[in-house]
Chain A
Amino acid sequence: MIRSQQGLFGKFGGRFVPEILLPTLLELEETFMTLREDGAFWQEYLTLTQQFSGRPTPLTPCHRLSGQIGGARIWLKREDLNHSGAHKINNVLGQGLLVQRMGKKRVIAETGAGQHGLATAIMAARLGLRATIYMGADDIERQYSNVFWMRQLGADVVPVSTGARTLKEAMDEALRDWAANSENTHYVLGTACGPAPFPELVTYFQSVIGQELRAQARAAFGHDPDAIVACVGGGSNAMGVFAPYIDCTEVKLIGVEAGGHSLEAGEHSVRLKAGIAHAGIAQGFKTLFLQNADGQLGHTHSIAAGLDYVGVSPIIAHLSQSGRLTADSATDEEVLAAFRRLLQTEGIIPALESSHALAGGFRHAARMNPDQNLVINLSGRGDKDIFNVARAFPQPEWTAFLRRELERQPESTSPAGESSHEAV
């Protein structure tokens, strides 16, 4: 199990927040530290994920793909088959149990691709809580189908229009809301980042992925995988699948970041490659941040909104610097190629975030032997990316359909899409 040293992972992590947030963070830490020592709590969590989110998710062999690539046998850990379509729901269901124990009535969340926002809206609906989701205005445009469903579920989706209008700004805004409302509100942080105890807490809930994988891999091929590959935005799906393997040094752990257009500043979200990001303190914690010499955080780019983030989990930063984790990256172009390849070879529609892990995984598999096993954590499914993919691989019929559909939509009195809770 991942354990911090008083909130620190090597030199990363910690708690650097306005004093106003400290009491609520300490309350959360105490609740979490107590519950994680209680085996019955983990069992309660597992039961919830089984009854509500379809766990355990399968481990799927990719026969055609492995044959084509000609290296290691490729397996997919199918987090895309979770309710809500991504691994994000694991953490959210776990935090929902914490919210119930702390007796809070409102939840807030930041979201990039919208998967964490959607999962939070689902949990809030199920538990009868009010939910406010902060999302960068540009990310809203990129992932509108998730925004649509969050609002249908009754969540208030607040567009954040400051700065680069993406995940970083959404997190700033969630922290501001929490500073004002922490007495009745829990901040459901969506990734293994932020002030302690969040990196540890999110990893704890997500580690259900890796725990299942251990048993499934042994049943399927008799031993641990030779390599595990995951995409790394904030780092929650990667930590989830890596966590139980940290001390199994014969298992290679590969994290794939968003290479974007290029390694020019502002064109990517690569933080783990040496010399690009630097240790810094922001958003409540210390990690590798993309920033300038004056400590101002930089702009990022990725085709996948969920990886478009300026920092990275302090646990991942530590594992990368200590050599336990191998960092790789995939460009937008490589990601689209990998997306299409999985879709057409195995009949699985991956999220663009997870397609980074595919791109990196395919590359590594090709260099391995056919008797070796490589597992790719397929963190989410690609339904939400229908508009982005339609732009990357245009279909004239689709565009024509959108035009017809627009004409069929009822007249709306509110401005296009925004603040329309009553939209049908």
Chain B
Amino acid sequence: MKPSEAPLQVMSHAVIGFPSLEENLGAINGLVAAGVNLIELQVPFTDPVADGPTLVNACYQGLANGGSVRATLALAREVSARHPQTTFILMSYLNPLYQYGLETLFRDAADAGIKGLIIPDWLVEQVEPCLPLLDELELAPILMVAPNIGDVRLKRICQASRRLLYVVARLGVTGHQTLWNQEFDQYLRRIRQHCTLPLAVGFGVRNAEDLRALNGKVEVAAVCSRYIEWQACGGGDYAASRIRELMVDADLISPIR
């Protein structure tokens, strides 16, 4: 499949309870106003093994401020009602959802207006048995692939993923720079051979050059750690303005509001 003609969409992030439960709502409103159409709502976790220092610290702060699965679902209900055009995706490590009860979680998340799930430690073998229920609820498991994946497994993951495929741009954890070189293009071509879903690229998308490099190659770019860094240093309004600036600089949206 060829990439779509529509401009690159930006996906951004909220860690529930970071910097506080009260501020989450305003920050999300700011992101929507800035033109972000896809937002991950991350359940904070004590042991986020796929995340780098920025998101690890946000998780700890989020937990200290009451971030939880229930708080995430409550926020999802509120923001999805307020912003029906925006796609909200629940991002969590497996254990908080497992303790909540996976099937109950699927139903409650769908009911709260969540459209997709990103769960880094939930492998395709464990996702597949849940697909009938997830499809029925129109709740999309958004699975991840990494550059070191073999073709057989890639195909299997592409078949189980729904709505988007999350393309981990490089080996490692979130929050560091990535190079968009020929090797990366080859990786994308390999994925497109097996995948008809739109591709969301994450891990190391940090500035306008990154977005320009990805525009026309993939459909979605996840700017998450960078956004949380801005939020940590200047608050939600500042972070939203920086995200908007990024999108304008990358010619993804027009500068006039």
Contact = CB atoms under 8 A, between A and B. Distances in A.
A296 B46 contact: yes
Given A16-B121, A163-B46, A168-B47, A22 B171 contact: no
Using C-beta atoms within 8 Å of the partner chain, give the interface range for chain A: 20 to 34
B123 A22 contact: yes
Contacts of B153: 22
A183 B148 contact: yes
Interface string A146-179: 0000000000000000110000100010011001
Contacts of B143: 19
Interface in B117-163: 120-123, 126, 143-146, 148-150, 153, 157
Contacts of B120: 18-19
A18 B95 contact: no
A182 B148 contact: yes
Nearest to A299: B46
Contacts of B148: 20, 23-24, 182-183
Interface stretch (A40-48, A277-285, A404-412): A277-285
B49 A280 contact: no
A16 B45 contact: no
Contacts of A163: 46-47, 60
Nearest to A20: B146
B124 to A, nearest CB: 8
B50 interface: yes
Given A162-B60, A180-B171, A294-B68, A18 B50 contact: yes
A280 B46 contact: no
Contacts of A180: 171-173
Contacts of B98: 280-281, 295
A181 interface: yes
Contacts of B56: 162
A23 B123 CA distance: 12
B224 to A, nearest CB: 15
A219 interface: no
B38 to A, nearest CB: 20
A98 interface: no
Given A176-B173, A283-B47, A19 B99 contact: no
B100 interface: yes
Contact of B121 (A168, A284, A295): A284
A302 interface: no
Contacts of A265: none
Contacts of A162: 56-57, 60
A289 B94 CA distance: 14
B36 interface: no
A291 B45 CA distance: 11
Contacts of A297: 46-47, 95
A19 B146 contact: yes
B200 to A, nearest CB: 14
Contacts of A19: 120, 123, 143-146, 149, 157, 168
A302 B98 CA distance: 28
B63 interface: yes
A179 B173 contact: yes
B235 interface: no
Nearest to B93: A282
B109 interface: no
Nearest to B124: A19
Given A282-B95, A295-B97, 14 more contacts: A16-B122, A18-B49, A19-B123, A19-B168, A20-B148, A24-B148, A162-B60, A176-B50, A176-B51, A176-B172, A179-B49, A180-B173, A284-B121, A294-B69
14 contacts: A19-B123, A19-B149, A20-B171, A23-B150, A163-B60, A179-B172, A180-B173, A181-B171, A281-B94, A284-B49, A291-B95, A295-B69, A296-B46, A297-B46
